[in-house]
Amino acid sequence: MRYTLSICDNRIFRRLYNKGKSAASRCVAVYFRRNGKRENRLGLTVGVKVGHAVVRNRIRRRLREIYRLSEELLIQGVDIVIVARSAAAKADYHELERELLGLFARLGLLK
RNA sequence: CGGGAGGAUCGGGCGGUCGCGUGGGGGAGACCCCAUGAGGAAAGUCCGGGCUCCAUACGGCAGGAUAACGGGUAACGCCCGCCGAAGGCAACUUCAGGACAAGUGCAACAGAGAUAUACCGCCGUGAGCGAUCACGGUAAGGGUGGAAAGGCGGAGAUAAGCGCCCGCCGUCGGCACGGUGACGUGCCGUUCAUGUAAACUCUAUCCGGAGCAACACCCGACAGGACGGCGAAAGCCGCGUCUGCCCGACGUAGGUCCGAGGUGGUGGCAUGAGCCCUGCGGCAACGCAGGGCCGGAGAUAGAUGACCGCACAAAUACAGAACCCGGCUUACAGAUCCUCCCGAAGC
RNA sequence: GGCCCGUUGGUCAAGCGGUCAAGACGCUAGCCUCUCACGCUGGAAACGGGAGUUCGAUUCUCCCACGGGUCA
């Protein structure tokens, strides 16, 4: 991903959950906040409750793919956390793509 | 053809576009090229090891594990063979399968009585006209129970009965033969004894503790402190670590411990009790010898996804390495192969 | 990733090889009261699942499932 770093620090996740703006749909929830930098930072959260390791990996990879393909459309300089919910385990790639892009549009993250 | 038993293997292949981890190469750089990239269970963490630190891991108690016998293995609670028991017409499957005859405990309810007993019954004696009662004998019959004085059958004897006696079976003990052994077969006998050890316990064998978040090293930040007593010395006490306790060992001034700080990097880290083929030994597990192959995962918020095409009946199961191996257990759509048993029909 | 615990009515929980598996709160029916509450009497409701040992398992053993703790 060209313009994006990963979020490794648990404190950044906490700050987004507490102070970021958010929106949610059936399968995913999105939190974001401006970070004052030139590039974006992305965090993906897929909890244990969603499924076992194979299911969690698949969801995480699909979410990352969706983000990668839509990266050019997004504004820059924000931290974004995408949280998978339980329903994501049964959704296919296209459903996730539709929901996630819909949330990005609702939050005004698209250029 | 139908039904069944045992074992083994696969659990995806080819191609295209974009994207990711690792290694290598090219380029001043942006970047480009090449190679490669999850499992049979990677899982549960139930056993056993390697490896690292603690003492070179040593003695006793406590604690834990295993349990017919022989072998295999680095080791095992695993595997192979074999014995015994149970089940099945059979192929075959299952078994925590030592010792209640060392001692202790427990056995509710029912039942007269639970390791010793006489409720009904049977028999004898005495009392009574009699119904019946009292005392004694008896475990063959009834009833209760998971279990009632080895089991089944029989004859004599007896007041009635009883392994009191006989035959067969079982059990225990002894002897002989076969087997490396568990054990089997045969003979003899004064043995005849409730169950339970996944109850305490006893017997035999094995086990030191912790775990890669172990451990070693580097950079930076912070805040430093303690190291005693006796003695001339040896040494003793104390303190610390090693295991719950004892014993013991080691350390006690270029070392150790406590406190503070809690951030990043490197190694450990992937060639291993490895896989394949051939030969020899062995019933087998497996071992030995020779040859070949490395078919290269190695992250540190953690790499495999999206879309499409092709053949096949279909691509749909369970499921993601985190120090590494050997097992066990659990989950699993579908496909293929081998061996064997039973039944029916035919030759 | 490693190492340890736990699971009993709706909730909190005691028990531990054997007769009805205690108790509290809650729920419910009746009584009391003009009515509600309090009080009194009664009732329903549970051993996470599956195997094994045993005459008998909530208890003992094994395997799963779920929930929690702890270690840099």
pLDDT (0 to 100) of residue A6: 77
Please list the pLDDT of chain A residue by residue as tens digits (111 residues): 556 777 767 777 777 877 888 888 888 888 888 887 777 888 888 877 787 888 888 888 888 888 888 888 888 888 888 888 878 888 888 888 888 889 998 988 887
Q: CA-to-C1' distance for A24 and C21, Å? A: 49
Residue A111 lies in a domain: no
The DSSP element (H or E) to which A5 belongs, if any, is strand A4-6
A92 alpha-carbon distance from chain centroid:
16
Lookup: tokens for A81 = 């956390």
Residue A30 lies in a domain: yes
Query: The domain containing residue A10 runs over which residues?
Result: 4-106
Residue A100 lies in a domain: yes
The predicted complex's ipTM stands at 0.78
The number of distinct structural domains making up chain A is 1
A110: phi then psi, degrees, rounded to nearest 5: -85, 150
pLDDT (0 to 100) of residue A2: 59
Chain B bases under 7 Å from protein CB?
19-20, 38, 42, 301-307, 319-321
Residue A64 lies in a domain: yes
- CATH number, position A57: 3.30.230.10
Q: CA-to-C1' distance for A15 and B296, Å? A: 44
